[in-house]
């Protein structure tokens, strides 16, 4: 979730260069166990790939990325970070107060599909494709209300700083929550509701650090974690080891693909 209208993020070109650099630096191609934190690292608690992530380029090739190499080669430098800054919503368009965090629409209102699910995220709910699954902010400067996404069948609520365990997703990227904060948020959320799902969003270069953080939690909690990873190749796909992938960054909203049941 880049702030395609506010989320701190470096441009897609920088990500692509970083990912290519990381892939070139590594010879190993051991894929992570596919799954999800609910059923693995993203759907079931880290079927803990201890430091390997995969990246799929626009040509469809998948290579393993070593945790250490990713951080040394794929991690963007401060100079490469760029704030995604579509038009900032006017003061009147922003909610005057943080919405009550009940997030009722996080529960599916339509039958669970057996096909990959497309959904969209934005800091401006009004620009999201009508009638489609969506992800919006529960807190921070772009917090919105349930009324703003009333026409969307499934909605994920994003916490930007790790202070809202009732949200569905924690945003881990520069300017928001840190990888170390991810474990604290997941623990808080799953302690309050052991049957819930904790989704962690981050970009591909930071993924190994997030996994290391989550690995400190008990297996019972790790099995309820899903990963949503940014890999903006422009082609719909889901990274191995993740439950959802943000595959395109747009000026108003981003495009994402998730495994069946991601919103369950």
Q: Is residue 121 part of a domain?
A: yes
Structural domain for 181, as ranges: 12-88+99-258
Confidence of residue 216 (pLDDT cuts 50, 70, 90): very high
Q: How many domains does the chain have?
A: 1
Domain presence at residue 3: no
On whether residue 31 sits in a domain, the answer given is: yes
CB 212 within 8 A of CB 179: yes
Q: How does pLDDT run across 90-137, given as a tens digit for each residue?
A: 444 444 344 444 444 444 455 555 799 999 999 999 999 999 999 999
Q: What is the mean pLDDT of residues 144-155?
A: 95
- pLDDT surpasses 50 at 43: no
Answer whether residue 4 is part of any domain: no
Mean pLDDT across the stretch 232-237?
A: 97
- Cα separation, 161 vs 120, whole angstroms: 21
pLDDT confidence of residue 37: 36
Distance in angstroms (rounded) separating the CA atoms of residues 210 and 215: 9
pTM, rounded to two decimals: 0.61
Share of the chain above pLDDT 90, in %: 55
Task: Determine, yes or no, domain membership for 94.
Answer: no
Q: What are φ and ψ of residue 220, in 5° steps?
A: -65, -30
């Amino acid at each position: 979730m880049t702030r395609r209208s506010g989320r701190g993020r470096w441009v897609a070109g920088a990500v692509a260069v970083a990912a290519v650099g990381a892939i070139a630096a590594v010879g190993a191609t051991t894929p992570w166990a596919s799954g999800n934190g609910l059923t693995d690292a993203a759907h079931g608690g880290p079927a803990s790939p201890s430091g390997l992530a995969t990246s799929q380029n626009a040509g469809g090739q998948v290579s393993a990325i070593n945790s250490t190499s990713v951080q040394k080669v794929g991690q963007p430098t401060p100079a490469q970070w760029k704030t995604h800054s579509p038009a900032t919503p006017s003061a009147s368009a922003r909610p005057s107060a943080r919405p009550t965090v009940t997030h009722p629409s996080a529960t599916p209102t339509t039958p669970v599909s057996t096909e990959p699910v497309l959904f969209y995220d934005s800091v401006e709910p009004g620009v999201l494709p009508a009638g489609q699954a969506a992800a919006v902010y529960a807190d921070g400067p772009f917090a919105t209300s349930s009324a703003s996404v009333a026409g969307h069948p499934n909605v994920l609520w994003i916490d930007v700083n790790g202070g809202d365990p009732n949200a569905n997703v924690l945003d881990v990227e520069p300017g928001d929550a840190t990888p170390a904060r991810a474990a604290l948020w997941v623990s808080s959320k799953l302690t309050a509701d052991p049957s819930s799902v904790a989704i962690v969003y981050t970009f591909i270069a930071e993924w190994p650090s997030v996994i290391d953080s989550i690995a400190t939690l008990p297996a019972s909690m790790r099995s309820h974690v899903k990963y949503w990873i940014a890999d903006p190749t422009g082609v719909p796909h889901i990274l191995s080891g993740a439950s959802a992938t943000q595959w395109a960054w747009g000026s108003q909203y981003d495009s994402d693909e998730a495994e069946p049941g991601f919103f369950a």
